Amino acid sequence: MKYLPLDPALFIQNRKRFIARMEKNAIAIFNSNDEFPANGDALLPFKQNSDLYWLTGIEQEDSMLILFPGNPDKKYREVLVLVRPNELKEKWDGRRLRAAEARAISGISTIVWLDSLDGLLQPWIHLADSIYLNTNENDRKANTVPVRDYRYAQEMRLRYPLHTYRRSARLLKDLRAVKTPLEIEVMQQAMNITEKTFRRLLSFIRPGVMEYEIEAEIFHEFLRNRATGPAYHSIVASGDSARTLHYVSNNKECKDGELVLMDFGAEYGGYCADLTRTVPVNGKFTKRQKEVYNACLHLHRYAASVLKPGITITEYTEKVGEEATRQFLKIGLLNKTDIKNEDRENRAYRKYLYHGISHHLGLDVHDLGTRTAPVQAGMVFTVEPGIYIEEEQMGIRIENNFWITKNGNKDLMKNFPITTDEIEALMKK
């Protein structure tokens, strides 16, 4: 890992929160992700299962966590399972965790090697009444590959068909959505690295620069500040490309008079930042660009002001939509006839703002969390309204990350330049 060691209390606290929600006399088993093949004998870079990481802090492949709070042998109530270090494999692929190192990261005392697990696990299963198994229940899941969690669940049901099975994901969706102060400390590190990167870009962008050169600057600044790397594929979209929400080509020249929309964030300690800013390539907004940008900034601030505990995402989106309608009237995108004749299922403002305003943020960029229950204190959301105008070949989006608390929202990106004056002044320097 490139980042500095995290406080193991973060993961100890997370396990306590999960165990408190388990049924009596239940055992919970968590698996690491698969290593996925690329081509030939190559593997894609390994990415740990977010749930296992949330509970342990362990990023190594072929790892498992077993939680059995009712185990008669107290030593085995929390067990971290690791692949046994192998001298030959380490010569090729690098060092694997030793037991003492894993204890320091996770705060788990009992380490069991994977090749000796079966003889221990079966008696524990026989003692338990129910088994918690994990699957991916992110609402945006699109992957249909039968990954390890699903294969393991099928294997367990065949071996132990009379046990009662429970879904860990059901609990984790609630638990992971509400961040602890220890988690926010790590997220703030990701935000701080992202801020340094954005400030670097403001002195780098100029007419003639290529989008991929901006992307290279992002990656450089991330790594030199101990980030693991980008939290997601960076979007660097100049001119009309900014209207494509998930533009990832990043291969065009940034031209004088255009805007460039940049959506990027660092990953630090497993946690993500998610920033969007739109800046003038030549360092100076035109009158119209500034008008649209300020309307978007108004929407951003309005959305942040109404995203509070108790509101649902549906209610929140409706409120922001009403304000977007008012702003789009002011800047000439809509007229009263458009609004009078609009379809309530497809509001007139949706022509220029056609995506959601916020999503959960954490270990995953689109993090776990309900989209139907009211917002709770402790959740972290992006706030990212945009305005996309096909007729003017212009796209503007402004995004910060907010921690929702009982005493008001805390902008984790409050120090980032955001106004047109701040951006122009830093680009001039």
Residues 199-254 have pLDDT tens digits of 999 999 999 999 999 999 999 999 999 999 999 999 999 999 999 999 999 999 99
Q: Do domains 9-175 and 181-428 have the same CATH topology?
A: no
Query: What string of DSSP letters covers 133-175?
Result: E-----TT----S--HHHHHHHHHHHH-TTSEEEEHHHHHHHH
Higher local confidence (pLDDT), 58 or 139: 58
Q: Which two tokens stand for residue 3?
A: 């980042």
- For the chain, what are the domain ranges? 9-175, 181-428
> What are 341-353's pLDDT values in tens digits?
998 888 999 999 9
User: What class has domain 181-428?
Assistant: alpha beta
What is the C-alpha to C-alpha distance for residues 142 and 128, in angstroms, rounded to an integer?
A: 33
Q: Are 296 and 385 in contact (CB under 8 A)?
A: yes
CATH superfamily of 9-175: Creatinase/prolidase N-terminal domain (3.40.350.10)
In this prediction, residue 142 has a pLDDT band, given cuts at 50, 70 and 90, of confident
Residue-level pLDDT at 371: 83
**pTM of the model as a whole:** 0.95
- CA–CA distance, 263 with 272 (Å, rounded to integer): 13
pLDDT above 90: residue 124: yes
- CB-neighbour burial class of residue 96 (10 A; exposed 0-12, middle 13-18, buried 19+): middle
